[in-house]
């Protein structure tokens, strides 16, 4: 696909927002944050509210409907927001903005987005893309927990318990969501749940030990990833009101 | 009827009574299912059917614009299970915290309805048994013969009380308010479900309070003021109350608000469509009066006073949206310090 024109730089007011659509129908919002331009999904990841109607102070975007907030430079969720923004990297050429190469599941994802280029590349080189049909089981309780997974597309359901007595225990549906993260922890060598594809799904499979070795080489990135992993695990422990 | 809800983080199952709306059955079981209005408007309680069959009791609900029926989506607040169900909710769902006021259905008797202005009426509900709620919460009320619940904030606050006070503004198309204003309803039996709502105040907050209310949005604010005053909260923290009405003729509870006003509590009445009458200030010396929209009056008065503060906002949606804009962009409050209910 050739490079895709988004809009003219002059179309996006200073510290303002503009909704744009590419020739092939991709909608996104462009934010002008003090002269730097950032592109992200056009509707709120919460409900289908147009984000161009949001409140933008030049750095933080707030959806007016339920006050979810993000840093537009990284897409990172702030405050009460429960999901990050999907970013679309932009390239400026002269007075126009173009869509740069779309981010992969790894760099839009909740664990690794925004890491230094070299570290992200090293992690990407460990990632093995896989496609699984609806109904396929990725792992079962007791299987070795060597790899973790990043969802690229589709929907994965988790079940605890075995066979007839198994009960649903959540699901993943967003590009960049990470599961099977026991592979990044010490002392959890086996799966405690099963993971099954609810739809045809594409995932990235990454070996946990090798990923940790990459993060050992860049302890700043390692710290960021571990902080995010701690927050992710805590989301599954929290009770209502202390999110 | 067995209901299985698969949420992003885990699954839940609970029973629904025959005819019971799925949302209310789950909340009653102590599961904090997503909702805001709980009455068919906001779309927050959207779920997706995985297996089973539901009956939609209000297919014209305004919140239906947020659901795709062809994809099996429906509003949990309006639908009843016709057979055991499995549904999917694309959100993180947690059990309610220990100590939360878990909502339950109740029967109640309406007592002492009385007009506060030409279009606002107050009344008390006597519940069949005592019930706890947090200051700032609301309940769903259904009078006899009027289909569906309407949501109203409690304006009192007392632990373990059977008496809940309410405020209702007359609306031309409001089923409940038309019923209430159409005759003397003293002694009428109502069905109640509650308490609901997360715009709650607890004294452990230990921050200054900013309360911005448009019209009948003052109901929940009075509950918060009552709770705070009883705990002597304003001996340690400041309070700023802004009550927006069109003209002085639309204002009420000025005596009660005067009693809250003091060294640490400023109460301002904002009149959007009329100049402040000269007699207002002499009649209510402890209150401030300003001409203007309530969010603009609050913005002028609050500049530089936003440190260590939590804001509560209630009223008609445009007033709430305008106030939130001020609180985010001018006051730079963090979102967890902005609590609001929109009445539509």
Residues A213 and A156 in one domain: yes
Answer yes or no: do A239 and B92 touch at CB < 8 A. Answer: no
Answer yes or no: do A170 and B11 touch at CB < 8 A. Answer: yes
Residues in chain B with CB shorter than 8 Å from the CB of A172 are 8
Residues in chain B with CB shorter than 8 Å from the CB of A171 are 6, 8, 88
Is 60 exceeded by the pLDDT of residue B259? yes
Helix (H) or strand (E) holding B315: strand B309-315
- Region A154-174: what's the mean pLDDT? 83
A26 inside domain = yes
Answer yes or no: do B100 and A238 touch at CB < 8 A. Answer: no
> pLDDT above 90 covers what percent of chain A?
58
Q: How many CB atoms lie within 10 A of CB A117?
A: 8
Say if residues A173 and B90 touch (Cβ distance below 8 Å).
yes
Residues A205 and A158 in one domain: yes
A127 inside domain = yes
A124 inside domain = yes
pLDDT digits (tens, 9 = 90+) for A103-121: 677 777 778 887 888 999 9
Backbone angles phi, psi at B56, to 5 degrees: -90, 115
Average pLDDT value over all residues in chain B = 94
Ramachandran area for residue B30 (φ above 0: left; ψ -120 to 50: alpha; else beta): left
Query: Judging by beta carbons within 10 Å of its beta carbon (0-12, 13-18, 19+), is residue B72 exposed, middle or buried?
Result: middle
- Region B95-121: what's the mean pLDDT? 94
Is 50 exceeded by the pLDDT of residue B335? yes
- Region B142-166: what's the mean pLDDT? 91
Residues A98 and A200 in one domain: no
* Eight-class DSSP state of B197: -
Residues A121 and A35 in one domain: no
Residues in chain B with CB shorter than 8 Å from the CB of A80 are 335-336
Answer yes or no: do B4 and A168 touch at CB < 8 A. Answer: yes
Residues A165 and A90 in one domain: no
Per the structure, how many domains does chain A have? 2
Confidence at residue A223, expressed as pLDDT on a 0 to 100 scale:
95
Question: In which band, very low, low, confident or very high, does the pLDDT at A242 lie, cut at 50, 70 and 90?
Answer: very low
Of B46, B97, B328, the CB nearest to A62: B328
Answer yes or no: do B88 and A171 touch at CB < 8 A. Answer: yes
Confidence at residue A2, expressed as pLDDT on a 0 to 100 scale:
58
A173 inside domain = yes
A111 inside domain = no
Q: Which one of A77, A102, A127 terminates a domain?
A: A102
Lowest-confidence pick of A3-7, B308-312, B336-340: A3-7
Residues A220 and A164 in one domain: yes
**Given the structure tokens 């109607």, which residue do they identify?**
A53
Distance from CA of A118 to the nearest CA of B (A): 32
Of B11, B95, B329, the CB nearest to A240: B95
Distance from C-alpha of A177 to C-alpha of B133, rounded to nearest angstrom: 37
Residue A114, SS3 per DSSP: coil
Structural domain of A15: 4-102
Say if residues B271 and B247 touch (Cβ distance below 8 Å).
yes
A169 inside domain = yes
Say if residues A194 and A166 touch (Cβ distance below 8 Å).
yes
**Choice between A85 and B256, residue whose per-residue pLDDT is larger:** B256
Confidence at residue A240, expressed as pLDDT on a 0 to 100 scale:
53
CATH of the domain at A58: 2.102.10.10
A54 inside domain = yes
Is 60 exceeded by the pLDDT of residue A187? yes
Q: How many CB atoms lie within 10 A of CB A87?
A: 23
Which domains does chain B possess?
A: 2-88 (3.10.20.30), 104-196 (2.40.30.10), 203-342 (3.40.50.80)
A107 inside domain = no
Is 60 exceeded by the pLDDT of residue A42? yes
Q: Which one of A47, A72, A102 terminates a domain?
A: A102
Distance from C-alpha of B174 to C-alpha of B194, rounded to nearest angstrom: 20
**Choice between A26 and B41, residue whose per-residue pLDDT is larger:** B41
Q: Rounded to 5, what percent of chain B is helix, strand, coil?
A: 25, 35, 40
Of A79, A157, A238, the CB nearest to B94: A238
pLDDT digits (tens, 9 = 90+) for B176-191: 999 999 999 999 999 9
Distance from C-alpha of A72 to C-alpha of A89, rounded to nearest angstrom: 11
Is 80 exceeded by the pLDDT of residue B315? yes
Question: In which band, very low, low, confident or very high, does the pLDDT at B245 lie, cut at 50, 70 and 90?
Answer: very high
Positions of E strands within chain B: 2-6, 11-15, 46-51, 54-56, 73-75, 79-81, 85-88, 104-117, 120-131, 138-142, 150-153, 161-169, 189-196, 208-214, 239-245, 265-271, 288-291, 309-315, 338-342
Confidence at residue A1, expressed as pLDDT on a 0 to 100 scale:
47
Question: In which band, very low, low, confident or very high, does the pLDDT at B342 lie, cut at 50, 70 and 90?
Answer: low
Is 60 exceeded by the pLDDT of residue A241? no
Positions of E strands within B222-279: 239-245, 265-271
Average pLDDT value over all residues in chain A = 88
Residues A36 and A79 in one domain: yes
Residues A72 and A125 in one domain: no
Residues A207 and A158 in one domain: yes
Confidence at residue A243, expressed as pLDDT on a 0 to 100 scale:
36
Is 50 exceeded by the pLDDT of residue A67? yes
pLDDT digits (tens, 9 = 90+) for A195-231: 999 999 999 999 999 999 999 999 999 999 999 999 8
Residues A145 and A228 in one domain: yes
CATH of the domain at A159: 2.60.120.10
Q: Which one of A71, A102, A133 terminates a domain?
A: A102
**B-chain residue closest to A81, CA distance:** B335
């Amino acid at each position: 696909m050739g490079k895709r024109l988004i809009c003219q730089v002059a179309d996006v007011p200073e510290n303002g927002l503009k909704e744009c659509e590419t020739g092939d129908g991709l909608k996104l919002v462009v934010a002008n944050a003090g002269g730097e331009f950032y592109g992200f999904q056009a509707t709120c990841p919460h409900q289908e509210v147009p984000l161009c109607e949001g409140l933008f102070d030049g750095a933080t975007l707030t959806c007016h409907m339920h006050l979810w907030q993000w840093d537009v430079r990284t897409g990172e969720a702030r405050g009460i927001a429960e999901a990050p923004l999907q970013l679309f990297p932009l390239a400026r050429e002269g007075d126009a903005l173009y869509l740069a190469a779309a981010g992969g599941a790894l760099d839009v994802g909740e664990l690794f987005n925004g890491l230094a280029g070299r570290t992200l590349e090293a992690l990407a080189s460990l990632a093995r893309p896989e496609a699984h049909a609806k109904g396929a089981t990725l792992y079962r309780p007791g299987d070795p927990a060597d790899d973790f997974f990043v969802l690229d597309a589709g929907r994965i359901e988790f079940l605890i318990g075995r066979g007839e007595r198994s009960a649903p225990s959540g699901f993943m549906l967003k590009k960049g969501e990470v599961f099977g993260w026991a592979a990044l922890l010490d002392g959890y060598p086996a799966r405690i749940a099963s993971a099954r594809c609810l739809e045809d799904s594409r995932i990235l499979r990454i070996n946990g030990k090798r990923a940790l070795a990459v993060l050992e080489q860049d302890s700043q990135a390692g710290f960021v990833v571990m902080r995010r992993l701690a927050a992710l695990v805590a989301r599954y422990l929290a009770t209502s009101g202390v999110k | 009827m067995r209901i299985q809800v698969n949420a992003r983080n885990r699954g839940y199952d609970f029973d629904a009574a025959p005819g019971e709306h799925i949302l209310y059955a789950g909340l009653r079981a102590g599961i904090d299912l997503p909702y805001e209005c709980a009455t068919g408007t906001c779309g927050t309680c959207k779920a997706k059917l995985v297996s089973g069959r539901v009956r939609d009791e209000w297919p014209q609900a305004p919140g239906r614009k947020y659901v795709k029926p062809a994809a099996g989506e429906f509003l949990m607040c309006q639908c009843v299970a016709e057979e055991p169900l499995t549904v999917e909710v694309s959100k993180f769902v947690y059990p309610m915290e220990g100590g939360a006021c878990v909502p339950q259905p109740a029967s109640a008797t309406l007592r002492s309805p009385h007009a506060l202005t030409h279009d606002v009426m107050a009344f008390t509900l006597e519940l069949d048994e005592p019930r706890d709620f947090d200051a700032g919460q609301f309940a769903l009320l259904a009078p006899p013969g009027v289909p569906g619940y309407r949501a109203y904030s409690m304006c009192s606050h007392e632990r373990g009380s059977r008496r809940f006070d309410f405020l209702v503004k007359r609306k031309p198309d409001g089923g409940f308010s038309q019923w209430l204003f159409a005759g003397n309803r003293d002694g009428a039996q109502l069905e109640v479900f509650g308490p609901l709502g997360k715009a709650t105040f607890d004294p452990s907050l230990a921050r200054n309070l900013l309360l911005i209310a448009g019209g009948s949005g003052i109901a929940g604010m009075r509950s918060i003021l009552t709770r705070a005053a009883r705990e002597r909260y304003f001996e340690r923290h400041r309070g700023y109350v802004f009550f927006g009405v069109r003209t002085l003729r639309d204002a009420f509870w000025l005596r009660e608000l005067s009693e809250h006003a003091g060294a640490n509590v400023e109460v301002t009445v904002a009149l959007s469509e009329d100049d402040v009458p000269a007699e207002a200030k002499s009649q209510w010396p402890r209150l401030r009066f300003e001409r203007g929209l309530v969010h603009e009056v609050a913005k002028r008065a609050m500049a530089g006073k936003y440190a260590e503060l939590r804001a509560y906002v209630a009223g008609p949606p445009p007033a709430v949206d305008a106030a939130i804009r001020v609180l985010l962009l001018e006051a730079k409050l963090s979102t967890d310090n902005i609590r609001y209910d929109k009445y539509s």
